[in-house]
Structure 1
Amino acid sequence: MNHLSRRSLLQFATAASALAATGTIPALVQSAFANDAPTAQPKTLPWRNWSGGQTCTPAMRAAPADEAELADLIAKAATPIRAVGAGHSFSPLVPTNGTLLTLDRIAGVTAIEAKTHQADILAGTRLARMSDDLAKAGLALDNMPDINKQSLAGAISTATHGTGSEIGSLSTFLQGLRLVTASGKAIDCDAKRQPEIFQAARVSLGALGIITKARIQARPLYKLKRRTWVAPVEEMLEQVSALEAKNRNFEFYYIPYSGMALGISNNETDEAETPAPVNEDDDGLRQLKMLDDWLGWSPGLRRWTIQKILGGMEPEERVDFSHKTLSTERGVRFNEMEYHLPREAAPAALREIIETIEKNNIKVFFPIEFRTVAADDIWLSPFYGRKSASIAVHQFYEWDYKPYFTAIEPIFRKHDGRPHWGKLNTLEAADFAAIYPKWKDFLKVRAELDPKGKFLNPYLRKVFGVA
């Protein structure tokens, strides 16, 4: 194990923040969605998400170049019609035997309002491109998720988030959006124009229509100092409230079978940027898997080894522009479950999760991520009406995730958790109705905009209780 350096094992933990499903679209999908391809592909090419856990063979693939083509497609295409971005959702939001469409050709920042720092951004824009384009204009978002491969529309539709006790999900940055509905009609909505549609569309799972453009609130470009350190997980949990209050962005990762956690904070600074470090996250995760292969038979020896490797490690710091310190590259694939809990309940829930994993010797090496998110008023936001803490668990994509997630999900539910819309869970319509106060309001808007369920695949029919 001489090549298992302290640095690489520190770096592996941040790779767990690939929590939103990272990576690139498989080559097969890229070829089908190439920008120079015809608007619609009649061939029945199979599709899979990033982890390979969700698959389908749609009757048609389509890549409309503009809103007019999209409206025509919606009127004529086989249903269900589902949009796909980078395939970073683990739940079955995308699979369809009807029409699978991408908005990759409807992408880019189209307008910036200098006085308000608001930007009009087309829905197919990937978060990484959006961040770079905003930075060139001297702007940035107030927060970013730890993965930036998603499309803007997909991130909005699933309440994708970063961490920060006083910062909401990306959906809270929305000032308005444009939506093409089942009739082919385009609707512009915001807090004043058709506010009920706006409230529903801010987190909609793609069930109201196809978002084509969003107006996003940004702010002047800023830098962050990112600090990472290692501490016993119980010490991290005891200090979690103080760390959330002290730092603009705070999160930590528990390293299974180690008793140790990696803390990460980001705070605004005017200091000069430091050189970008070499990204060793994926190598670190592979080394952690190797530890599981070698020492999984002995949790005690595994714990002793990781603690020895991490012991005495000095904190590391980096300064860069916010979109570069908040989001990172990930490559090792996994499947994921993430629940958002009332903030005060989260430490106890994590302690139960750790105990369940280690008493039952559950096979896992991916770190568990703990983040915070501000409350909001969005109908289907998991953060509706309460300050939340998010706990995410991951399983290596080649391993069966069901035993692990089946053991952990009851703990999330016991503590009043709401699942991330893009992550795996077993909830059904009655469950969602019980945990979302505005559930019926959303169902009413959905039925008005899409009475025949043109945008509902089998999974969403189950979620919304539509026959």
Structure 2
Amino acid sequence: MKRRDFNRSLLLAPAAPLLAGTTLSAVPQSAQAGRKIPWQNWSGHQKATPAGRVSPKTEDELASLLKTAKQTIRPVGAGHSFSPLVPTEGAILSTRHFDQVEAIADNRAIVGAGVKLNRLGEPLHKLGQALPNMPDIDEQSVAGAFSTGTHGTGANFGAMHAYVEALRLVTPRGEVLECSRDSNPDIFDAARVSLGSLGVITQYTLRNETPYKLKRRTWMQPLEQTFAEFHQLAEKHRNFEMYYIPHSDNALIITTDLTDEAISPRGEDGDNDAVRELKMLRDYASWWPWLRKKLITGVSNTIPPEEHVDWWWNIYPSDRAVRFNEMEYHLPRESIVGALKKVRDTVEKLNPDVFFPIEVRVVQEDDAWLSPFYKRPSASLA
């Protein structure tokens, strides 16, 4: 546990694949030729051997493909969803050719559905813009992240889809719809978090901010203290999250706030080493729960606080080399401390195998119909 930065497990929102319940008529010969190519999601838990793979280059090509469909087609982003959104015996569709990033007036930008989050930060920054918030995994495609409700953390910040001002949707009938609060508003409210069920989104118009620097602080503190201070920390800091370290008495706290200080980069993440070491302690001390708890708590007490300053897109995400599967619950914010206490009690008493840190974040309400944060300030427990 040399790490001072325990794993920030993923997002819900993990957001990668979109699900489209449409069908595809003729998979192009290039997709049919040769053997079928297996597909799996990032964690390896969801798998499929689709009949073909398609990657349309234009909206017209995509519209024709969907309109003449006769077998199942499902769009796929970067494969970061833990749910079975993509597996099919039909075809999977990539939106990788929809990759534009274009600044427009009033701190807005047009972003293609296939752009990955980790290839969006620096281009936006060079255009004089910044995303208001980001998740802690940046491997997802834009459309995958938005359509599955992916979120970061911050009491005054919504999930990624909350900053969408407009989108273009190609329906199963081959129609291309412009959707916003003023144009096709019901479809706009449904499509922002739709799992791809309405068709294939090709681009978004995003409401952004001017570029900013963040100071990221991490420190360990007693879990009971964290329960008592949870809501104050969430209100005090621009971004706040915590990690309960299973079978210990401590929590890891991470906050970020705006700053004008000089850059001091984070450097290489040690989260992956920390997770491996937690697993090792579980395996070695499985017969002595009291010893395991004493060791983890004792070592975590020696971890010093850290501070780093950098531009926004370098602060939010973390490296994730350790593969995992995640489930996430979204609760009314006022209920989160009580829920976490019950999770802690259940883990401590009934689940000695659990070693992966449990992540808690806060998210502002929004009005997308299938959003986990629909009209309710929420907290997410992953």
TM-score w.r.t. the length of structure 2 is: 0.93
User: Deviations along 1:373-412, whole A, 9 cap, x unmatched?
Assistant: 00111111110111000000xxxxxxxxxxxxxxxxxxxx
Which 4+ residue blocks in structure 1 deviate beyond 6 angstroms? none
Per residue, is there more helix in 1 or in 2? 1
Residue 112, structure 1, aligned to residue 103, structure 2: yes
Does the 8 Å CA contact 1:17/1:147 hold for their aligned counterparts?
A: yes
Counterparts of 1:39 and 1:150, CA distance in 2: 26
Q: Partner of 1:253: helix, strand, or coil?
A: strand
Give the structure 2 partner of residue 160 of structure 1: 150
Aligned in 2, Cα 1:81/1:65: closer, same or farther, shift over 3 Å?
same
Given candidates 11, 14, 29, the residue that maps to 2:7 is 14
Residue 308, structure 1, aligned to residue 326, structure 2: no
User: Deviations along 1:341-398, whole A, 9 cap, x unmatched?
Assistant: 0001111001101100110133121100000000111111110111000000xxxxxx
Deviation at 1:313, TM superposition (A): 3.1
Counterparts of 1:21 and 1:202, CA distance in 2: 15
Residue 375, structure 1, aligned to residue 327, structure 2: no
Given candidates 38, 46, 57, the residue that maps to 1:54 is 46
Counterparts of 2:180 and 2:378, CA distance in 1: 25
Deviation at 1:44, TM superposition (A): 2.1
Does the 8 Å CA contact 1:22/1:50 hold for their aligned counterparts?
A: no
Q: 2:369 corresponds to which letter in structure 1?
A: W
Deviation at 1:39, TM superposition (A): 6.2
Does the 8 Å CA contact 2:99/2:111 hold for their aligned counterparts?
A: yes
Residue 201, structure 1, aligned to residue 191, structure 2: yes
Aligned in 2, Cα 1:156/1:38: closer, same or farther, shift over 3 Å?
farther
Deviation at 1:295, TM superposition (A): 1.1
Aligned in 2, Cα 1:342/1:20: closer, same or farther, shift over 3 Å?
closer
Counterparts of 1:77 and 1:22, CA distance in 2: 25
Does the 8 Å CA contact 1:340/1:390 hold for their aligned counterparts?
A: yes
Deviation at 1:21, TM superposition (A): 5.2
Residue 172, structure 1, aligned to residue 165, structure 2: no
Q: Within 5 Å, which residues of 2 pair with 1:33-432? A: 40-42=31-33, 43-109=35-101, 111-113=102-104, 115-392=105-382
User: Deviations along 1:107-139, whole A, 9 cap, x unmatched?
Assistant: 131x212x4100001100001111121011121
Aligned in 2, Cα 1:52/1:78: closer, same or farther, shift over 3 Å?
farther
Percent identity reads 48
Q: Partner of 1:335: helix, strand, or coil?
A: coil
TM-score w.r.t. the length of structure 1 is: 0.76
Aligned in 2, Cα 1:302/1:78: closer, same or farther, shift over 3 Å?
farther
Counterparts of 1:305 and 1:78, CA distance in 2: 59
Counterparts of 2:284 and 2:48, CA distance in 1: 36
Does the 8 Å CA contact 1:22/1:149 hold for their aligned counterparts?
A: no
Q: Within 5 Å, which residues of 2 pair with 1:423-442? A: none
Q: Partner of 1:266: helix, strand, or coil?
A: strand
Deviation at 1:14, TM superposition (A): 2.7
Give the structure 1 partner of residue 22 of structure 2: none
User: Deviations along 1:280-318, whole A, 9 cap, x unmatched?
Assistant: 221221122111111122221111001111224331100
Q: Partner of 1:96: helix, strand, or coil?
A: coil
Deviation at 1:38, TM superposition (A): 8.1
Q: 1:65 corresponds to which letter in structure 2?
A: K
Q: 1:106 corresponds to which letter in structure 2?
A: F
Q: 2:300 corresponds to which letter in structure 1?
A: L
Counterparts of 2:190 and 2:30, CA distance in 1: 29
Deviation at 1:19, TM superposition (A): 5.8
Counterparts of 1:16 and 1:198, CA distance in 2: 30
Does the 8 Å CA contact 1:19/1:147 hold for their aligned counterparts?
A: no
Q: 2:45 corresponds to which letter in structure 1?
A: G
Does the 8 Å CA contact 1:78/1:98 hold for their aligned counterparts?
A: no
Gaps of 5+ in 2: 17-27
Does the 8 Å CA contact 2:242/2:251 hold for their aligned counterparts?
A: yes
User: Deviations along 1:245-282, whole A, 9 cap, x unmatched?
Assistant: 10000000011001210000000001111133222221
Deviation at 1:79, TM superposition (A): 2.7
Counterparts of 2:276 and 2:70, CA distance in 1: 42
Counterparts of 1:67 and 1:56, CA distance in 2: 26
Counterparts of 1:198 and 1:272, CA distance in 2: 41
Task: Identify which range, 181-190 or 39-48, moves more after superposition.
Answer: 39-48
Deviation at 1:328, TM superposition (A): 1.4
Deviation at 1:77, TM superposition (A): 4.0
